[in-house]
A and B are shown apart, each in its own frame.
Chain A
Amino acid sequence: MINLNYYPGCTLKTKAKNFEDSAIASMSALGIALIELPRWNCCGASYCLAEDDLIHQVAPVRNLIRVKSQESRVESQGEGDSRLQTPDSRLLKVVTLCPFCYNTLKRANLIVRNDPGKRDTLNSFMDEEIDYHGEVETVHLLEVLRDDVGWEAIAKKVKVPLEGLIVAPYYGCTLIRPREIAIDNVERPTVLHRLMETLGATVVDFPFATECCGSFQSVSNPELAAETAWNILTLAQRQGAEALVLSCPLCEYNLGFQQKLIRRRHGEFKGIPTPYFTQLLALALGLESCGFDRGYTDSRALLQSKGLLS
């Protein structure tokens, strides 16, 4: 079993518990233990874009510092080499699952790495912590699956191939934009496609895979966000998809929960299940804890009709 530092973030502990549970169970079946950081704080969710506002970078950077100090503690106990190392072995790795956390941590780290002045200021804000120079590399679980585990190894562990299930992979924004932190090609990412194919599902060509779902506008302008979601969902359906595979709890709210609102606005709209990729992964690996009972939409009827779920 390989241990990997894991930063969960707030949403996975509450609204998206099924996302986290299915991820931890799946990774463990694949030989990787996600070890939650002992102390972590909210990353701030949305990366602050103002040049003159460094204080909002403290929260994400503090989490990265925790990874660094955690690593040095583990190392002094002699377990350090059990963690997956990034290609640049000077870097320590922390894996995220929530795309908002991924985006915020990764971009805050770029400031620390690229701007010495801001780095010093940030360090001086947190004088109770050890000095930080950007040593930690934030990765997303999809990258771990692609780069560290590998499709072949995953394919070997598949017990319930998702045969007959037709899915549209949906990436949203924060995993692939901006370009500097993208886990994949910005315009034509493939990692979710490849994962779904590896699990035996049929993947449709989906031009809106990276179209924004409306993001936090669903708080301030739910009708407008529902409209963008409707666009995305109906294109997926026209392409023949039976489910939209997600990687983000906010996407699941906008594309899943808000289907009620969409149906009110567009009477003809028929719902479509919106499982997380980790749930389908867990299902294909033959695990019990897939959390299909806790989603905003219900994937169970679809999966049962395909004989994938009893």
Chain B
Amino acid sequence: MDKLGSSTKRALVIGGGIAGIQASLDIADAGYEVLLVEKTPSIGGHMLQYSEVFPTLDCPQCIGTPKMVEVGQHSNIRILAYSEVESVSGTIGDFTVRIRRRATHVDWDRCNGCGLCLQKCPVKVPSEYNCFLPFDNRGAIYIPFAQAVPNKPVIDAQTCRYFKYRRFMEEGEESKKPPECRICEKVCPLGVIDWEQQDEIVEEKVGAIVVAAGFDLMDKGEIGEFAEGRDIINGLEFERILCPSGPTAGVVMRPSDGIEPREVVFISCVGSRDPELGVPYCSRVCCMYLAKQALLYKHAVPDGQAYIFYMDQRTTGKGYEEFVRRAVEEYHVMYLRGRVSKIFRDGDRLRVQGADTLSGRRVDISCDLVVLGMAMMPSAGFKELARKLGIATDEYGFITEIHSKFRPMETSVPGIYVAGTAQGPRDIPDSVAMGSGVASKVLDLFSRDGVGSPL
């Protein structure tokens, strides 16, 4: 046991979604330090984009924000937002991690988050948080959403007028001279805008690493027969449209022209269970969130009609089957058992060509909006992260656990653990459970005097 005593009792959590948040809190509450690295300007992950969450229909901002604030205020947790892991070396109990802190161009240590700069920025671009929907924009200096943690702005140098101006002056990159702008700098009462700030690499020692980098959805452009038009959206986009605090203030409208959709068609398993597209697996959450979205649509448009094309109803969680029955019996959501072959625009509506294998009929539907339950995939850039960590992934890019039954949270590298959807599709309760589970693995490690034999 030559490692005895040498272990660093400090954890690195990669990804600030609900799984990473839960793991961080449990480890920190037990008295150990946590470094939480999050790629975007705020923690929260996908859950914070949703309108309400199944099966209880809680407001995720209401149940998620207290947790996020707790993370933000916890004396044992340090959030490194807008940051990514550059490299990892060492072994269990003794890892050295280099982390790139991307330039925010705002001195976060001095910024008090007053938000004056956000109001004055003249740039208007679609926002990542709102899935680039046309209804709402962010500035070049922005905080992704109201409940963000940390609640500090970043400047997006790509769209900022002053950075464009500088590129024009230095490299003649822009075609015509942009205005110099710098309005945010002028209005900031604390003078914390920092044009010269550069990316910074910090080096940290940790004893354990939790990977909770989450998921992204397959690009709908992959589905040639569906890719037509702006009114075919994915589930995340519809969450934003349904969300009371979203870009439409919860008024359901279709992206192309803002009219209220009278008929909405939801399609399950788009990309999922489709080996021809390279995704043979089931994404596990679409059956439930499409039922949820259909039901929420009916809340918003009581006389509208929702259709859901499905192949199988996989409602295995507690209260899930009952939830779907409610959608059918109380809200008259029409389930159609079959896939859709093609969607196209005919006039100002969409035509959906589907089949209902239960009646043995071809069904065609005219509708205003189509919501695709797209396949869940490992988050963008995850392959690269897995390579840096040296951990094994399956052929789709999800982390391979060392034993699928008895050691579901351990990766192929001792001391590196996985929680949430980075391991495979799952819902919020399962991701949270896994976050707590992984914390217990880390705490178990930290509770020993040394790491001893890792296996």
Q: Which residues of A contact B (CB under 8 A)?
A: 185-188, 205, 207-208, 235, 238
Contacts and interface: CB of A to CB of B under 8 A. Distances in A.
Contacts, number: 17
B225 A187 contact: yes
Given A187-B224, A238-B346, 13 more contacts: A185-B224, A186-B224, A187-B225, A187-B227, A188-B227, A205-B345, A207-B228, A207-B342, A207-B344, A207-B346, A208-B344, A235-B346, A238-B347
Interface in B291-350: 342, 344-347
Contacts of A208: 344
A238 B349 CA distance: 13
15 contacts: A186-B224, A187-B225, A187-B227, A188-B224, A188-B227, A205-B345, A207-B228, A207-B342, A207-B344, A207-B345, A207-B346, A208-B344, A235-B346, A238-B346, A238-B347
A186 B223 CA distance: 11
A238 B227 CA distance: 21
Contacts of B345: 205, 207
A238 B228 CA distance: 17
A interface, by DSSP: helix, strand, loop or mixed?
loop
A188 B342 CA distance: 12
Interface string B213-254: 000000000001101100000000000000000000000000
Chain B, interface size category, equals under 10
- Best-buried of A186, A187, A188 by chain B (most CB within 10 Å): A187
Closest CB pairs A-B (n = 6) = A187-B224, A207-B344, A187-B225, A188-B224, A186-B224, A207-B345
Contacts of A186: 224
Contacts of A188: 224, 227
A124 B366 CA distance: 56
Contacts of A235: 346
A208 B18 CA distance: 44
Contacts of A205: 345
A188 B344 CA distance: 12
A208 B346 CA distance: 10
Contacts of B225: 187
Interface in B338-367: 342, 344-347
Contacts of A238: 346-347
Nearest to B343: A207
Nearest to B223: A187
A192 to B, nearest CB: 16
B363 to A, nearest CB: 16
B40 to A, nearest CB: 32
Contacts of A207: 228, 342, 344-346
B340 to A, nearest CB: 13
A238 B351 CA distance: 14
A186 B342 CA distance: 13
B372 to A, nearest CB: 15
A54 to B, nearest CB: 27
Contacts of B344: 207-208
A186 B225 CA distance: 9
Contacts of B347: 238
A191 to B, nearest CB: 15
A208 B351 CA distance: 12
Contacts of B342: 207
Contacts of A185: 224
A208 B225 CA distance: 11
